[in-house]
């Protein structure tokens, strides 16, 4: 008989719980580094913020998908997920640095959907690159 922690249902629930917890923590970090309040802006109907935040959520969860796929232990998944998130955070700062003619956060706060869309695509796209490196 399998032990409790070897049970597939328990492993899935543990992985899910840890990934959700990490996503909430990482979104809180993004909330601290952006000049706008994500959930307030989304509540107001700011589509650019919704796209940028949705891209971050998809990017973070995609990184955890790769971490789960390539690592059996919960601790390894967390470690690689944190590392992937840090790379995604660095990409956010690089994106801000590479657009000196306007401020990304200010444009997204003003509901500039073009900037929000590019921000979303960068987060999602780089999550595939980061995730592929996690094995």
Q: Do 26 and 60 contact (CB within 8 A), yes or no?
A: yes
pLDDT tens digits along 67-108: 988 887 889 989 999 999 999 999 999 998 898 888 999 999
Q: Sketch the domain layout of the chain as residue ranges.
A: 4-132
Q: How far apart are CA 125 and CA 128, in angstroms?
A: 6
The yes-or-no verdict on residue 21 having pLDDT over 90 is yes
What pLDDT is attached to residue 5? 65
Distance CA 123, CA 15 (A): 22
pLDDT tops 60 at residue 59 = yes
* pLDDT > 90 fraction of the chain, expressed in percent and rounded: 74
Would you say residue 1 has pLDDT above 60? no
In the predicted model, is pLDDT for residue 110 greater than 90? yes
Angle between helix axes 47-70 and 74-97 (nearest 10 degrees) is: 140
pTM for the whole thing? 0.87
């Amino acid at each position: 008989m399998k032990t409790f922690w070897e049970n597939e249902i328990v492993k899935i629930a543990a992985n899910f719980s840890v990934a959700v917890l990490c996503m909430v923590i990482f979104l809180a970090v993004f909330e601290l580094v952006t000049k706008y309040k994500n959930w307030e802006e989304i509540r107001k109907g700011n589509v650019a913020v919704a796209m940028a935040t949705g891209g971050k959520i998809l990017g973070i969860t995609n990184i955890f998908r790769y971490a789960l796929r390539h690592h059996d232990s919960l601790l390894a998944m967390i470690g690689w997920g944190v590392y992937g998130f840090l790379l995604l955070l660095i990409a956010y700062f690089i994106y801000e640095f590479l657009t000196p003619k306007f401020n990304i956060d200010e444009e997204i706060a003003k509901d500039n959907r073009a900037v929000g869309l590019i921000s979303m695509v960068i987060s999602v796209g780089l999550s595939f690159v980061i995730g592929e490196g996690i094995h």
